[in-house]
Amino acid sequence: MLVDTHCHLDFQQFDADRDEVIRRAGEAGVQYILNIGATLESSRGACELASRYAQVYAGIGVHPHDSRLFDRKAEVELRELALKEKVVAVGETGLDYYRNLSSRQEQISAFNRQISLAKELDLPLVIHSRQAEEEALRILKEAMPVRAVIHCFSGDENFLKGCLDLGFFVSFTCNITYKKAQGLRDMVKLTPLDRLMLETDAPYLSPEGFRGKRNEPFQVKLLAEAVSLIKGVGFEEIANSTTGNAISFFKLR
Ligand SMILES: [Zn+2]
């Protein structure tokens, strides 16, 4: 059994065939799907999917791109959404200094407030960090103790070590299969199996051979196979450990 710990099935790319996508995932052995919120609206969508499908769980949060929209009102609504059944994380939240769609100040403020919310609600954080590793780590360190997973890991060995030292989990997407992603594959090698999780980030980041197409949660199987090859560990062991990590980290049941 496998878990896709991060995808966006509430997005309109899935409007035409969402049932089918979720069925296909189940057939590929995906036991649970975590639909992660990126905006208030998509956090609502995540909760709605979680209530409709037994295998879907929700994260609620505002992506760093949309930090400028994270006001008091948004915070109040996130807090309300968090009370719903099957909400298992706050996120995605964090910093994105690659695209800078919100100012750094807005990103840091929204990040800090979502960290506080996660602590208040006793939920783990799903962290998005792109070209902001040092700052993200500094903020998280200050906020300890927190439980966090670094989603779509794209940092270097220093950042990886910093995250592991704080007890965080690291999750990898299908971009580890890209020809030019040897650096990422090295990070997969360095991540202990008891800290590693899998995610598709669908509809984004389709694996090599499917690039340009919409990604789907069933591809987490291909991802597990890739990790198995990179680490030289059997597929079953990869599936068992990553699934066990997801179940205990997000308290899925
Ligand atoms: Zn995402």
**DSSP letter string, 136-159:** HHHHHHHH-S--EEESS----HHH
CA of 14 to the centre of ligand 1 (A): 15
| Count of H-run helices and E-run strands, the chain | 9, 8
- Chain-centre distance of CA 232, in angstroms? 24
Residue 79, SS3?
Answer: helix
Report CA(204)–ligand 1 centroid distance (Å). Answer: 8
Give the pLDDT of residue 76.
Answer: 96
Give the N- to C-terminal CA distance of the chain in Å, as an integer: 14
Identity of residue 32: Y
Q: How far is the CA of 13 from the centre of ligand 1 (A)?
A: 14
What is the CA(57)–ligand 1 centre distance, in A? 14
3-state SS class at 37: coil
What is 2-250's CATH number? 3.20.20.140
Q: What's the 201 CA to ligand 1 centre distance in angstroms?
A: 5
Q: How far is the CA of 127 from the centre of ligand 1 (A)?
A: 9
How remote is the CA of residue 152 from the centroid of ligand 1, in Å? 8
- Containing H/E element for 7? strand 2-7
| Nearest CA-CA partner of 218 in 250, 210, 37 | 210
- 83: nearest Cα among 123, 115, 112, 49: 123
**How many angstroms separate the CA atoms of 176 and 235, rounded?**
16
The whole-chain average pLDDT of the chain stands at: 97
CA distance 6 to 217: 9
The CA 162 to ligand 1 mean position distance, Å, reads 22
CA of 63 to the centre of ligand 1 (A): 8
Res 166: pLDDT: 98
At 133-153, the pLDDT tens digits run 999 999 999 999 999 999 999
Model confidence at 197: pLDDT above 90: yes
Centroid of chain to Cα 173: 9
Query: What is the whole-number distance in angstroms between the Cα of residue 175 and the centre of ligand 1?
Result: 13
Angle at 79 between CA 168 and CA 49, to 5 degrees: 80
What is the whole-number distance in angstroms between the Cα of residue 151 and the centre of ligand 1? 8
Quote the ligand 1 centre to 222 CA distance (angstroms).
18
Residue 253 has pLDDT above 90, yes or no: no
Query: Could you tell me the distance, in angstroms and rounded to a whole number, from the CA of residue 61 to the centre of ligand 1?
Result: 11
Which two structure tokens, joined as six digits, stand for 13?
């790319």
- In tens, the pLDDT along 74-105 reads 999 999 999 998 999 999 999 999 998 999 99
Q: What is the pLDDT of residues 6-48, one digit of tens each?
A: 999 999 999 999 999 999 999 999 999 999 999 999 999 999 9
User: What spacing in Å lies between the alpha carbon of 147 and ligand 1's midpoint?
Assistant: 18
Distance 130 CA to ligand 1 centre (A): 12
Q: Which two tokens stand for residue 203?
A: 């509809």
CA of 36 to the centre of ligand 1 (A): 7
Q: How far is the CA of 38 from the centre of ligand 1 (A)?
A: 7
Please state, for a pLDDT cut of 70, what percent of the chain lies above it.
100
Short-list 45, 69, 67, 49, CA closest to 57: 49
Query: 236: CA distance to ligand 1 center in Å?
Result: 26
Across the range 42-70, mean pLDDT stands at 96
